[in-house]
Structure 1
Amino acid sequence: MEKLVLLRQADIAKLTRHRSGEVRFGEKMQLVPKGADCVDFISQSDAPYVLFGIPEDIGIRANFGRSGAASAWQTALESICNLQHNKFCKGNLILALGHLDVKAEMEEAAGLDLLHSQDRVKLGKIVQRIDREVSHLVFTIQKAGKIPVIIGGGQNNAYGNIKGSALAYGKPVNVVNFDSQSDFRIPEFRHNGNGFRYAFDEGFLKKYYIFGLHENYVSKQVLQTLRKIEDRIRFTTYDEIAVRQEKRFDEQMQFALAFICNDNFGLEIDLDAIPDVASSSMTLSGFSVLELRRFVSFFGRHPRASYLHICEGAPELDDVNKKHLIGKLIGYLVTDFIKSRQPAEE
């Protein structure tokens, strides 16, 4: 865990806006004390959720996406620090761990040219280095009996989440992915468009459900691949639900849950599926924020939901006056997940 940068009280204090008569998450979230063994503290803490960030966009760039997702962690952390600690959701349920130090990897990636295939392969190798760190950290958290809440970064990090979970449980895990794309492309080299494919091929991913796939952005090759293994991978398209109204949102959530709930499963959220959210692959057509929040709450309440990963949001690509909104959205999703599992006090 050498690449883990732990959050300290001074870091949280700088982000938390104190106000008389109010208590914020930043005043209540648990932190690893200075000098304490990190792994031991995670195990001994009574916080069921462990929050950490992956401030990178290397996997996105390797797939010709726009950079910017590296900024989501800090923006989200500030928003989470300023949530109200109250009977509906309590800050002390979260152990705010910190973030993976990927500064050297980001600097190395910045010197590579995407137009050169060899440089793209080099980017893939950098992503693999980050994969190892992510999988080890997720493994450590889940082995301690806690639930990781992961803020990306790109969805290339789904691979590390899945591998770490599978190693912790000693068997492959399932995933439901709220996304406009499958991210199941050929395993040419690692990037944000094939994390699920690598996890599947390597035996860490058992069943995979893609919720809200956009028909305009799934290749014929990927569709053919998915049809060959439909006993283990299924999907519902956004167009079927929202445009042609052949299927209902609630019914498809039930269908997806029935498909994956026999084993531990991860909850993957790609923010580029939401209209007007600044991301590597921004869209004007997609499900609403309200539908996404219902989705997180619905799947989060199942006892086999094993982690939450929110990725691809890119605040630095947004208008300067709107950058905070992605952090605010992530804060809503994190608390929706927690509230679905923790009953509010009377």
Structure 2
Amino acid sequence: MPKLDLERLVPVAGELFFSRNDTNDVRLGDVVQRGIAAYADASVVILGFPEDEGVRRNGGRPGAADAPAAIRRCLYRMGSAGLTELALVDLGDTPPAPTLEERHDLHMAVVAQIIADGKRLLVLGGGNDVAYPDYAGLTAAAGPALAFNLDAHYDVRADTPRNSGTPYRQLIGEGRLAPTNYHVIGAQPFANSPVYTAFLEKCGAQVTTLQMARSRGVTATVEHITTESSATTIFWGFDMDVVNAAEAPGVSAPNPLGMRGDEFCALAELAGRDRRTRLIELSEVCPPYDLDLRTCRLAAAMLWYALQGFAG
């Protein structure tokens, strides 16, 4: 895959980098570096994918295109405790393209370059279709990876054209993702078709419902999978609709019986702590439907805990 000129990325608006201009109260907006000039020395990169065409195609609530900016606005107001020594850069957003397919290709190339350059990557979606170029770009640069999809849905729909419900079906069908490396965590039986349950069972993927995970402990369940795995690279997809709608109302598909926010954030820290983790993505935040910024603030907290894991 050819190297991409990262200067083509869309810069983040300066107003999103919050600062109190107070040396006694340093915020994350004071710590994070900005743009391509800081890229070479960075160990962790933040990249946005402001797109919701995949959600529209899937019949979900549009608005996820606004998520990267809204999440950054909350994230960069957070404290910097434990993160001041982390070489963190926000590169901006993947630029637009005429079609979703073309934007996926462009994003995939950006991801592959960042991973090939030895960075760890946080991606801010956008719809969950971003999992397709994220995982494909990761594996193009780093080889096969264990994949976690923390989600109420399987995302293996057999739809054409691609949408926010198809990314893992695409990856499996194209041979990019071995089904036995695919783990859905937090799935809700009422949110998925038995046809797709049978598909995953037949191909050897693993589905852990939220009820199953809680019987052992959500974090303990996932940590057991990572400990038992011999994978050298791990990919994490955090879909906000895995969280209950009381704590995350601003999503593309609200979940009445989802994961708690503290469970969600604990998994993010677990992901960041594992040295095999190369990419963590967050998707399906839908700011137009948020209430009192609950969803955006939880998304920001989840990313803050992932950064704590990286820094640890």
Scaled by the length of structure 2, what TM-score is found? 0.89
Within 5 Å, which residues of 2 pair with 1:20-39?
20=22, 21-32=24-35
Q: Deviations over 1:139-166 (max 9, x none)?
A: 0110110011000001100000011011
- Match of 1:336? 305
Equivalent position of 2:20 in the other structure? 18
Mapped contact 2:16–2:72 kept (Cα < 8 A): no
CA drift of 1:91 comes to 7.4
* C-alpha distance in 1 between matches for 2:163 and 2:261: 26
- Tell which deviates more after alignment, 145-154 or 12-21: 12-21
Partner of 1:266: 235
Structure 2 stretches lacking a partner, 5+ long? none
Shift of residue 14, structure 1, vs aligned partner: 5.6
| Pick aligned residue for 1:227 from 198, 201, 212 | 201
Distance 1:241 1:139 in 2: 32
1:71 aligns with 2:66: yes
1:149 correspondence with 2:122: yes
Q: How does 1:112-151 map to 2 (within 5 A)?
A: 126-151=99-124
Name the CA shift for 1:191/1:90 in 2 (closer, same or farther; >3 Å): same
State the shift of 1:92 in Å: 5.1
Question: Which amino acid in the other structure matches residue 26 of structure 2?
Answer: V
Q: Deviations over 1:187-245 (max 9, x none)?
A: 53210101011111112213110001101122121111111111xx1111123344xx4
2:133 corresponding residue in structure 1: 160
The separation in 2 between residues aligned to 1:22 and 1:77, in whole angstroms, is 18
The aligned counterpart of 2:83 is: 89
- In 2, are the aligned partners of 1:155 and 1:193 still within 8 Å (CA)? yes
**Aligned-residue RMSD, C-alpha:** 2.0
Residues in 2 aligned to 1:76 and 1:152: alpha-carbon distance in whole angstroms: 10
- Residue 192 of structure 2 aligns with which residue? 218
Q: Which residue of 1 aligns with 2:155?
A: 183
* Partners of 1:236 and 1:55 in 2: CA distance: 29
Unaligned runs of 5+ in 1: 106-125
Q: Is the 8 A contact 1:182 1:213 kept in 2?
A: yes
Q: Does the CA contact (< 8 Å) of 1:261 and 1:304 recur in 2? A: no
1:173 aligned onto 2:145: yes
Where do residues 239-318 of structure 1 align in structure 2 (5 Å cutoff)?
A: 239-242=211-214, 245=215, 247-258=216-227, 260-276=229-245, 277=248, 278-318=250-290
4+ residue stretches of structure 1 with deviation over 3 A? 258-261
Structure number, greater radius of gyration: 1
Q: Is the 8 A contact 2:152 2:255 kept in 1?
A: no
- Give the 3-state SS of the residue equivalent to 1:279 in structure 2: coil
Which whole-Å CA distance do the structure 2 matches of 1:66 and 1:72 have between them? 13
- What is the Cα deviation at residue 283 of structure 1? 1.4
Q: Identity across aligned pairs (percent)?
A: 22
Q: CA deviation at 1:15?
A: 4.2
Contact 2:16-2:76 at 8 Å conserved across structures: no
Does the CA contact (< 8 Å) of 1:185 and 1:222 recur in 2? yes
Corresponding residue SS for 1:26? helix
> For residues 96-132 of structure 1, what are the alpha-carbon distances to aligned partners after superposition, in whole Å with 9 as ceiling and x for unaligned?
1101232x65xxxxxxxxxxxxxxxxxxxx2211210
Aligned length: 301
Q: Per the alignment, do residues 91 and 78 of structure 1 end up closer, same or farther by CA in structure 2, a change over 3 Å counting?
A: farther
TM-score by length of 1: 0.81
Q: Hey, what's the Cα distance between the residues in 1 that align with 2:282 and 2:183?
A: 16
Q: Does 1:100 align with 2:94?
A: yes
Distance 1:156 1:179 in 2: 13
Is the partner of 1:236 in helix, strand or coil? strand
- Distance in 2, matches of 1:82 and 1:154, equals 24
